Chains A and B, each alone.
Chain A
Amino acid sequence: EEPSLLKKLLLAPPNS
């Protein structure tokens, strides 16, 4: 399954 872009954005440190 495609890696979720949303998950990447969510897991990125805040305000990145």
Chain B
Amino acid sequence: ELSQDQQTLLTYVLDAYNKHRIPSDISKKLLQEQYSREENFLLLTEMATSHVQVLVEFTKNIPAGFQTLDHEDQIALLKGSAVEAMFLRSAQSFTKKLPHGHTEMLEERIRKSGISEEFIVPMFNFYKSIRELQMMQEEHALLTAITILSPDRPYIRDQQAVEQLQEAMLEVLRKVCKLKHPQEPQHFARLLGRLTELRTLHHHHAEMLESWRMSDHKFNPLLCEIWDVQ
């Protein structure tokens, strides 16, 4: 069973995850904007920017002590996890079948935005693998917090403090998996396997940015900072 503290932690993380999401006016644009490659690229960068803002707000609300870390480490954790948290959140959009055909529109726009096929394939394989896990909202929220609190990101100074925060989240996730998927003892291990997949996507993403830069696509200052693009 979850202890009282763990139940409180889970409630906080779930509330923070549900409260902070892409504003509907941006996702509505998926249906309205033109269909040109340029328009798709701009729309995707607008969604990515919103993902970063949502990520920061979610992270500030993680109760287990993210705010106790020093600011440099908080920034290093956000920079190190932003791409992975974005893919995880996007995967959920493809799982939940957004209303009014948003999902199909989003897929179309991603496929027609200048991203080369070699990155499209692993991206949609990842979305499919997340869909197959039929994750509950609690699992998405915890897995996102676990992704953010990865002690092995570049430039983390107090790795031990981050590791303790991540351990607490992993223990709650392990119990939630046992409670919610009693018939699937492997479910927790499968979720952790997705974290490994996210690292690979993170690597692909850096190469994607390079190819976009070559075709002279510009990113706004927040994306340049979070993605380390000059």
Contact = CB atoms under 8 A, between A and B. Distances in A.
Contact of B75 (A2, A4, A15): A4
B78 A5 contact: no
B122 to A, nearest CB: 27
Nearest to A9: B56
A6 B61 CA distance: 16
A10 B60 contact: yes
A3 B59 CA distance: 20
Main secondary structure of the interface of A (DSSP, over half): helix
A11 B72 CA distance: 12
Contact of B78 (A2, A6, A11): A6
B79 interface: yes
Main secondary structure of the interface of B (DSSP, over half): helix
A6 B57 contact: no
Nearest to A5: B222
Given A7-B71, A7-B75, A14 B222 contact: no
Interface in B1-46: 19
A2 B228 CA distance: 13
A5 B225 contact: yes
Interface in B121-167: none
Interface of A: 2, 4-7, 9-11, 14-15
Interface of B: 19, 52-53, 56-57, 59-61, 71, 74-75, 78-79, 221-222, 225-226
Given A9-B56, A11-B71, 5 more contacts: A2-B225, A6-B226, A10-B71, A10-B74, A14-B57
